Amino acid sequence: MSVRRTRKDDGSQWTVADSRSVYGIRHWGAGYFAINEAGRVEVRPNGPNSTPVDLYEQVDELRKSGLSLPLLVRFPDILQDRVRQLTGAFDSNIERLEYQSQYTALYPIKVNQQEAVIENIIATQNVSIGLEAGSKPELLAVLALAPKGGTIVCNGYKDREFIRLALMGQKLGHNVFIVIEKESEVELVIEEAASLKVKPQVGLRVRLSSLASSKWADTGGEKSKFGLSAAQLLSVVERFRAAGLDQGIRLLHFHMGSQIANLADYQHGFKEAIRYYGELRNLGLPVDHIDVGGGLGVDYDGTHSRNASSINYDMDDYAGVVVGMLKEFCDAQSLPHPHIFSESGRSLTAHHAMLVVQVTDVEKHNDEIPTIENKESLPETVQWLVDLLGPTDIEMVTETYWRATHYMSDVATQYADGKLTLAEKALAEQCYFAVCRRLHNSLKARQRSHRQVLDELNDKLADKYICNFSVFQSLPDTWAIGQVLPILPLHRLDEEPLRRAVLQDLTCDSDGKIKQYVDEQSIETSLPVHALNEGEDYLLGIFLVGAYQEILGDMHNLFGDTDSVNIYQREDGSVYSAGIETHDTIEDMLRYVHLSPEELMTHYRDKCASAKISASERTQFLDALRLGLTRSSYLSS
């Protein structure tokens, strides 16, 4: 049974409204996530007005059915709602601005190539949706999954086979655009088109000078890996013209980067991009499509700002800029309005998936006030720390903290010099953390003079919550580029989270931890959490992991894929599970690195045969080793 606790600041009772504020769920949840009155996280798969699904209850039922933690939970209905929101934003702006063409959302499958993701996106009713492929495996996938007549845009490096496959797709009835990224691709297109007797539909990707500010800015700008310079663009046009294929140039493409936080950056680059549209039309090319690429971001931290993990705009703002700037330019130049494509994969997929993990262990400082029987016998520096355990005037809180920190620095030096014993150092540490805990409880976050000390104390006093997952496998962007993801407990949210913690994974790597957390409308270095209850699992949800994380995850320390499940909602609000995939076993992981389980068992048998153990022990050991190979790479839950 959950217990309501009292807040320190004003003595009022903690409520779920306080948890909603602390974890900022209203700001980053986009209407899909909330905290119910029972203090548990709920999901609204079809938007804020749909029937809520208690995520904690669902996970409990799934565990009872045999699934284990960590568990990747997907809500495919969210995918379709995101598609409807995006296409709706463009359609409404097209209507409002009297734009004389259409919009098609392209899903770049590199963002998440799971079959259920692709199929649910393209199954969205009453919208215009296409697919983008950036490699031969992706192209072969979309050629099979795209509906006949569906739009397919081919990006990335291409060889002869890639181009031939794309042209075959055109002959099979798909609306295929082959985007030229490099001059070397031109002759391949010309030759393969002649071989297959097909008139290719060609796109030209331009390399913009404009550069947005984001963690993925290198995908745009003059140093971009892809795209044609102005001179290369003219050369490509002339080569197609010489081959009599210039009238197949139908598409202009550019890409400014992923997760563009500041809409003004996008406007600046888009202004440059649409100039190319005008120039290509003036060259007599029938360009009537413009692919504005990616960039539409996700407000991961809920600050609605220019932070790298946020955005200062919404879908409607983004669509309004694209449609409005295109219309203004085309009208001024007396040009036809082109059909608009966008590759907004992150925005479409991020919200639909979340990772549920359990806390398996807690490491915390001993901040209890120690019993001191003979203070005078202690070294002077330790005595000074003991003296700070007494009451402190509120006006002296910050000064007391700095004094305690200075004394603790002296303790470290004196211990290294051999002037303190291990027991004396341990007592000094306990006194120090007891002082810090008492001071922390006296500080107020809203008082500016306290903020710096409070931030430092949050760091110093944070517990280490060891969680049953791998950052490298399940949250690679968190490790690689410091991507911030919202995290909160799935339950007990009617209780005040009186502890703070840093989440650490199971890997034997110092990078295997999460370093930044959404806290109200800011980013902090620790997460508000509850103390663990005896005999009760403490479950945390890591949200907005639907874009890139699955496909980028690696097998550091041989931690493999987790259990995963798709949860669908029926029209009556009830839900059902499908697409269940169980975890990689240890045997699976060993095979990945070419360690044969059969050979390992041979070695086990040889070692058991030569060891000085009884026959029953030999049988017991071999059974345990054989069984161990079939287990999950994660801890048993």
CATH number of the domain bearing residue 299: 3.20.20.10
Confidence (pLDDT) at 450: 82
Same domain, 229 and 115: yes
Domain boundary among 459, 482, 516: 459
- Residue 617 forms part of a structural domain: yes
Q: Does residue 431 have an active-site annotation? A: no
Task: Name the pLDDT band for 357 (thresholds 50, 70, 90).
Answer: very high
30-69 pLDDT, tens digit per residue, is 999 999 999 999 999 999 999 999 999 999 999 999 999 9
- Residue 220 forms part of a structural domain: yes
Q: What is the DSSP string of 349-379?
A: HGGGEEEEEEEEEEE----SPPP-S-GGGS-
Domain boundary among 399, 433, 459: 459
Same domain, 436 and 497: no
Task: Name the pLDDT band for 447 (thresholds 50, 70, 90).
Answer: confident
Task: Name the pLDDT band for 3 (thresholds 50, 70, 90).
Answer: very low
Contacts of 340 (CB under 8 A, 6+ apart): 90, 101, 102, 103, 104, 289, 290, 292, 322, 323, 326
Report whether 27 contacts 34 (CB < 8 A).
no
Confidence (pLDDT) at 20: 97
Confidence (pLDDT) at 9: 56
Same domain, 205 and 243: yes
- Residue 329 forms part of a structural domain: yes
297 annotated ligand-binding residue: yes
Range of the domain at 419: 375-459
Average pLDDT over residues 236-253: 98
CATH classification of the domain holding 476: 2.40.37.10
Share above pLDDT 90 across residues of the chain, in percent, rounded to a whole number: 88
Same domain, 491 and 404: no
Confidence (pLDDT) at 190: 98
Among residues 74, 116, 111, which one has the least CA distance to residue 543?
A: 74
299 annotated ligand-binding residue: yes
- Residue 182 forms part of a structural domain: yes
Share above pLDDT 70 across residues of the chain, in percent, rounded to a whole number: 96
Contacts of 410 (CB under 8 A, 6+ apart): 381
Task: Name the pLDDT band for 10 (thresholds 50, 70, 90).
Answer: low
Same domain, 200 and 88: yes
Please give the torsion angle defined by the CA atoms of residues 299, 304, 305 and 309, in that order, rounded to the nearest 10 degrees.
Answer: -20
Q: How far is CA 211 from the centre of its chain?
A: 23
Task: Name the pLDDT band for 2 (thresholds 50, 70, 90).
Answer: very low
291 annotated ligand-binding residue: yes
455 annotated ligand-binding residue: no
Q: Is the pLDDT of residue 387 over 70?
A: yes
Domain boundary among 426, 459, 492: 459
292 annotated ligand-binding residue: yes
Average pLDDT over residues 530-537: 96
Among residues 202, 213, 200, 321, which one has the least CA distance to residue 267?
A: 321
Same domain, 541 and 591: no
Q: Is the pLDDT of residue 194 over 70?
A: yes
24 annotated ligand-binding residue: no
- Residue 1 forms part of a structural domain: no
Which amino acid, 501? A
Among residues 258, 259, 261, 260, which one has the least CA distance to residue 312?
A: 261
Same domain, 384 and 516: no
Q: Is the pLDDT of residue 240 over 90?
A: yes
- Residue 517 forms part of a structural domain: yes
CATH classification of the domain holding 397: 1.20.58.930
Same domain, 288 and 409: no
Confidence (pLDDT) at 441: 85
Residue 316 dihedral angles phi and psi, to the nearest 5°: -65, -40
Confidence (pLDDT) at 214: 57
402-431 pLDDT, tens digit per residue, is 999 999 999 999 999 999 999 999 999 999
Q: Is the pLDDT of residue 391 over 90?
A: no
> How far is it, in rounded angstroms, from Cα 543 to Cα 357?
11
Same domain, 190 and 314: yes
Per-residue exposure over 108-121, b if at least 16 CB sit within 10 Å of its own CB, e if not: bbbbbebebbbebb
Same domain, 188 and 302: yes
Q: Is the peptide bond before 70 cis (omega within 30 degrees of 0)?
A: yes
- Residue 8 forms part of a structural domain: no
- Residue 67 forms part of a structural domain: yes
Same domain, 499 and 550: yes
**Among all chains, which residue has been given the structure tokens 């209507």?**
95
Same domain, 478 and 437: no
Catalytic residue among 330, 436, 467, 508: 508
Q: Helices 422-442 and 380-387 sit at what angle, rounded to 10 degrees?
A: 20
> How far is it, in rounded angstroms, from Cα 64 to Cα 426?
44
Q: Is the pLDDT of residue 180 over 60?
A: yes
Confidence (pLDDT) at 1: 34
295 annotated ligand-binding residue: yes
Confidence (pLDDT) at 396: 85
What's the number of domains the chain is made of?
4
Per-residue exposure over 149-164, b if at least 16 CB sit within 10 Å of its own CB, e if not: ebbbbbbbebeeebbb
Average pLDDT over residues 470-485: 96
Q: Is the pLDDT of residue 363 over 70?
A: yes
Looking at per-residue pLDDT, the higher value among 537 and 373 belongs to: 537
Confidence (pLDDT) at 293: 96
